[in-house]
Chain A
Amino acid sequence: MNGPHDLGGQMGFGPVAPEQDEPYFHAAWERRALGVTLTAGAMGAWNIDESRHARESLHPAVYYSSSYYQIWIKALEVLLRRHGFVSERDLEAGKAVDPAATPKRVLKAENVPAVLAKGSPCDRPVAQPARFKAGDPVRTKNFNPTGHTRLPRYARGKQGTIEAVRDGFVFPDSNAHGHGENPQWVYTVVFEGSEIWGEGADPTLSVSIDAWESYLEPA
């Protein structure tokens, strides 16, 4: 979707303002926000693509006025309501009022190190051979889906070159919506800065994205 999250090339947000010796957390609640987000995700009711889509579906005014941990929590509330774990009445009361759906699992403290060390690999075998090879010229599709996609707006309808064939990966555009993993080949596609930004582009710049095969056409 053309949501507030799709920020490449947008203007007006001001300087980056890096912080010297930045702490990992700027308030105690951020620690809990990280942990609540990860432990709730570990229930197994949604996948990372659905959670990304919940974040980017926040209203733009909300998205831009929230810190990243606030974005996480606001989207988490959406996911918890959607999957029947938390009700509006629970949130209003600030305590458990309504019964909850049954999670696939509950992450216990003693299992955390193993779960974090394992992660969630999302490479998958793909039955068909890769359509493109390194060096192939390609053009990204020009589309504007209303659902989740990982092809940023700035890189749509642009000509680039396949730099590397990576692996088969879960396809977020379908996985985010419960339509299955449908793995596809992923490629690193590199574009000249001028192809993306046109007149006035930094002549020394090239930009790459990692693109699923269905985002690409031969050029």
Chain B
Amino acid sequence: MSHDHDHDNELDPFAARVRALETILTQKGLIDPAAIDVIVDTYETKIGPRNGARVVAKAWSDPAYAEWLKRDATAAIASLSYTGRQGEHMQAVFNTKDTHNLVVCTLCSCYPWSVLGLPPVWYKAPPYRSRAVIDPRGVLEEFGLTLPADKKIRVWDSTAELRYLVVPMRPEGTEGWSEERLAELVSRDAMIGTGLAQRPEIEGQPA
């Protein structure tokens, strides 16, 4: 096979199992291994949370765009050329002074790939999926985020084909910033709701 497996332990039985499956399908002409290379390259180097950060930064900078994003997120996001698999039907939900939004998929791993890329392991794993809907404050504490006691929490369980992007609140002290600079403040976690946008005075620190 042409691709590179040298990071796998040769004794790892699951690596061998996946390799066997790929071999069988390739030998039968059912899949093109080069197509796998392109898929992996796409999600490792081209599609990731920087896409979503640009959407958020534009919404912060341009009220008309923010309105469009609220009304028709799929079209507003497509206008920045972020489209496609697991982003076909987008909804943007905006944090406010009163309400914090948190996104989960309790039933599987639904996630807005077109704007955030592939989901992190914790998003797909039982601890987050089980607790986000019943104990979101406890979950957020594990991300280092303590919300004020009177802040409302809205949890969006992605049970259908709508995919949710959280638009965090724009940090104070960023007046006049360019969209490029604003986008640097927007982490993946802020767009899931397990974080906030980074404040400019702690720029460079993990959000």
Contact = CB atoms under 8 A, between A and B. Distances in A.
Interface of A: 5-11, 13-20, 22, 24-29, 31-36, 38-40, 42-43, 52, 55-56, 64, 67-68, 70, 73, 76-77, 80, 85-86, 90-91, 94-96, 99-100, 103, 106-109, 111-113, 115-123, 150-152, 154-155, 166-167, 169-170, 186, 188, 190, 196-197, 202, 204-212
Contact of A8 (B38, B40, B86, B106): B106
Interface size class of B (residues with CB under 8 A): 35 or more
A77 B18 CA distance: 10
B177 interface: no
A109 B37 contact: yes
A11 B30 CA distance: 41
A19 B194 CA distance: 13
Contacts of A28: 4-8, 15
Contacts of A122: 88-89, 161
Contacts of A32: 3, 5, 18-19, 22, 36, 40
A33 B89 CA distance: 25
A29 B134 contact: no
Contacts of A68: 109, 121, 124-125
A210 B162 contact: yes
Interface stretch (B55-63, B147-155, B165-173): B147-155
Interface in B1-26: 3-8, 12, 14-25
A-B CB proximity, top 3 nearest: A35-B36, A210-B160, A8-B106
Given A18-B194, A35-B37, 16 more contacts: A8-B129, A15-B127, A17-B127, A20-B206, A27-B8, A28-B6, A29-B12, A68-B124, A77-B21, A96-B23, A100-B30, A106-B29, A154-B106, A166-B160, A205-B153, A209-B159
A9 to B, nearest CB: 5
A32 B35 CA distance: 10
Interface string B89-111: 10000000000000000111100
Contacts of B151: 204
A119 B133 contact: no
B176 to A, nearest CB: 30
